Structure 1
Amino acid sequence: MASQLPAFPRAVFTVLEPVSLVGGFLGPFVDADWFVASQLPVAAPGYDDNARLVALQLGNAYGLLFLLGVAVLYTTTELRVVRNYLVALWIADISHVGVTCWTLGYERAVDVGSWNAVTWGNVGFTTFLCLTRTAYLLGLFGPDRQQAPPATKKKA
């Protein structure tokens, strides 16, 4: 069904976003301490098992989002399901960026020059995804392609 989406949102939602979700999944599994440390600057490193567990659970959630996205975008034949999926992600994008900026605090949130790669992913890339979803849902990329009706067999 994703083939019915206009080209740009199709590329973003079926290629770019799944690749980023795999990255979000792998980050904590490759190095949980690095992943925890990359969220917010702290005075002294030293993370306990609780922080590692939360990081691994977050990585697992990214893996789940990847699997759900692939399942919805590549298997459904209902454009309405795809649109509802994108609305749910749009809402999650807003809360994700909001919570991240709230936790960063005003000074760090607006100091874009000091953002690390994780902050760029959490704020920058998620904002890009949210804006792309907004533009798609508003129809700014043009109409979805209509699915061809199923071919019928002719009786001989």
Structure 2
Amino acid sequence: MSASTHGVMRSVYKYFFLYIEPLSTILGAYYSSLQQQTYLDLTHATSSPQNGIPVSTQIVLMQLSNLYLCFAINEALVLRASSDLKVWRTLLFCLLVADFGHLYSVHAVGWHIYWNVLRWNAIDWGNVAFVYVGATMRICFLSGLGVATSKHTFTPI
């Protein structure tokens, strides 16, 4: 891979992992904490409560919001704080595992959720398509695609 291609990939990784994904994840935290009815309606309208959200569901959604924030902060700040390739690979591997768990979490909707883009709503684009992109980016990085390193460091900037 040419040096210019490495530079392009480094920029793609930088913008995605340090800006785009953390900001998108904060959007998920916003909806799961402050727009709970909308979040539930978009997740699965048929089973979404219409006469108020049960307290247990409110608690779970706030916990989900907290995890989204943790995800965003870890990704944005830990990766900014280190150029150690081992740190980047470790964190991105953990997030890749989370990607697979996130994708599995929507399987109850039906297998069409993974491929029928014409039926997707806004939250499906976030829960499936965006996770596909994030997982693909992590797989590419972990595979070394475009990761020009000086032995043990990766400089995203």
TM-score band (shorter)? 0.7 to 0.9
CA distance in 2 between partners of 1:50 and 1:37 (Å): 17
Query: Can you list the C-alpha shifts for 1:61-113, whole angstroms capped at 9, x where unaligned?
Result: 1111112122311112422111110011111111211221x121124444321
Assess, with a 3 A threshold, how the Cα gap between structure 1 residues 108 and 87 changes in structure 2: closer, same or farther: closer
Provide the residue aligned with 2:19 in structure 1: 15
1:30 Cα deviation from its structure 2 partner: 2.3
**2:78 is equivalent to residue 69 of structure 1:** no
**2:56 is equivalent to residue 50 of structure 1:** yes
Q: Is the 8 A contact 2:113 2:124 kept in 1?
A: no
Alignment size in residue pairs: 144
Q: Which residues of structure 2 form unaligned runs of 5+?
A: 1-8
Assess, with a 3 A threshold, how the Cα gap between structure 1 residues 112 and 33 changes in structure 2: closer, same or farther: same
Provide the residue aligned with 1:150 in structure 2: none
Provide the residue aligned with 1:118 in structure 2: 123
CA distance in 2 between partners of 1:93 and 1:114 (Å): 21
1:145 Cα deviation from its structure 2 partner: 5.9
CA distance in 2 between partners of 1:19 and 1:81 (Å): 21
Assess, with a 3 A threshold, how the Cα gap between structure 1 residues 14 and 94 changes in structure 2: closer, same or farther: same
CA RMSD of aligned residues (A): 2.3
Provide the residue aligned with 1:91 in structure 2: 97
Report SS of the residue matched to 1:41: helix
CA distance in 1 between partners of 2:126 and 2:111 (Å): 18
Q: Which residues of structure 1 form unaligned runs of 5+?
A: 148-156
CA distance in 2 between partners of 1:87 and 1:41 (Å): 33
1:23 Cα deviation from its structure 2 partner: 0.4
- Bigger CA radius of gyration: 1
Query: Can you list the C-alpha shifts for 1:108-139, whole angstroms capped at 9, x where unaligned?
Result: 44432111111110110001000111111112
How much identity, in percent, do the aligned residues show? 24
Amino acid at match of 1:137: L
* TM-score normalized by the length of structure 2: 0.80
CA distance in 2 between partners of 1:94 and 1:118 (Å): 17
**2:145 is equivalent to residue 140 of structure 1:** yes
Q: Is the 8 A contact 1:14 1:73 kept in 2?
A: yes
CA distance in 2 between partners of 1:92 and 1:145 (Å): 29
CA distance in 1 between partners of 2:80 and 2:118 (Å): 37
